[in-house]
Amino acid sequence: MDFIARFDGGANAFVRLAGSVLGVVVLAGGCASRLPTAEISELPIAFVYLTEAEGRQRAEAAEDREAAAYDPRTQVENRGVVNVNEFKDYLDHAFGQKSDPRHRGRLALLDARNSDVTVVAASRPGAVPQAWSSDHQRLLFSQGKPGAGQLFEYDAGTGEVSQLTHGPNAHPQGCYASGGRLVVTVYLIEGSGPAAQLTSRLAIRSPSGTIETITSGPVDGDPSCSPDGEQVAFVRVFHVEPQIWVQNLTPGAAARPVTPGHDPAFSPDGEWIVFGRGKAERSRLWRVRPDGGGRTKLGEGSGTQEFRPAVSPDGQLVVYESVLENRSRLFVRRFDGTGDVMLFSDGDGTFAVW
């Protein structure tokens, strides 16, 4: 469950960077052949990019904290949400905002065929992508101070950035629903004084900008909309393990539990939800039908932790994140579970959206 992200508008310019492909990186259980370029979608992957120097600095900071395999979700999942301050600290960790600002990276676009990285200069450090529109022309992303993130949209054709949500409540996550709507995560403070609780719910933002809560919480987030925009998969955290739920986006519809797990992402045909399950180094990729059927591992595993998956627009590949020696690396695997290839090696990558 990666509840937060963050964004802010700026100059609509690009900074072009050169990437380098590792011809093939085959991990335990992977395919022993290079992924042909023809198998890789030409549409870009949006992600958070850290340069080689920034990646090394963050790795050194992690070593200093003795946090090589740190999974911030366990701090609250094992005890439950106690109060506002504890939950905010949890969110800051889980959403990558508890680190030094120099280690937060930049919003960037990756051409996975040749590993060219294009940093979006309009973004500020800490901007995180959320979802592409169905035509891959608009990118939903978020940015803001910890606990106060809002959603923005980047137009790939014009380079323009527009703000879609506003305070006082934070709206740090979202995805594209049907009819010009958005599904957004909203943070709400319930109660007052020492008994106050910070909760997170899902809500619908209408084309006119009104926002209506649709889930009950108390900790709902990480939404992924179905390709037709009529359903949303999301994560609900109870006291022990995060659960993936699905809800139809029709008035009065109730959410239904699907499977234990985190980081849900719909496949482009809407037939599957790819997700992570397990904590820290034990996290593996799985897939499941939206009705809860057909749950199975997505391959035999790479031998490292696997999380934050996203399916390619043609449905053939899955990009996912792993941490190797405290470095965040992006890999791709075929949807049938074969092959594991690192996308680039001269920097770190996280929060990929394809």
**Residue-wise DSSP of 118-186:** EEETTSPTT-EEEEE-TTS-EEEEEE-STT--EEEEEETTT--EEE---SSS---EEEE-STT-EEEEE
Predicted pLDDT of residue 72: 40
What digits encode the pLDDT tens for the residues 109-152?
999 998 899 999 888 888 999 999 999 999 999 998 766 789 99
Indicate left, alpha or beta for 271 from its phi (over 0: left) and psi (-120 to 50: alpha). alpha
| Residue 30 CB partners (closer than 8 Å, separation 6+) | 299, 302, 333, 338, 339, 340
* Tokens coding 259: 């499977």
Concatenated DSSP letters of 244-256: EEEEE-STT---E
Residue range 189-205: mean pLDDT, rounded: 83
Predicted pLDDT of residue 268: 97
Q: CA geometry: angle at 290 spanning 284 and 296, to 5°? A: 35
The residue among 257, 237, 169 whose CA lies nearest residue 205 is 169
CA distance 48 to 117: 10
Q: pTM to 2 decimals?
A: 0.84
* Tokens coding 212: 């209506």
Predicted pLDDT of residue 75: 44
CA distance 210 to 291: 30
> pLDDT higher for 191 or 247?
247
The residue among 125, 171, 169, 137 whose CA lies nearest residue 152 is 171
CA distance 178 to 112: 28
pLDDT at 306 over 80: yes
| Residue 193 CB partners (closer than 8 Å, separation 6+) | none
Domain range list for the chain: 14-21+37-263
E strand or H helix that includes residue 7: none
Structure confidence at residue 354 as a pLDDT band (50, 70, 90)? very high
Pairing assessment for the beta strands 273-277 and 284-288 based on DSSP bridges? antiparallel
Residue range 297-304: mean pLDDT, rounded: 82
Answer whether 298's CB lies under 8 Å from 333's CB.
yes
CA distance 192 to 308: 35
pLDDT at 275 over 90: yes
Predicted pLDDT of residue 336: 94
- CATH architecture of the domain formed by 14-21+37-263: 6 Propeller (2.120)
What digits encode the pLDDT tens for the residues 156-171?
999 889 999 998 898 9
Predicted pLDDT of residue 16: 30
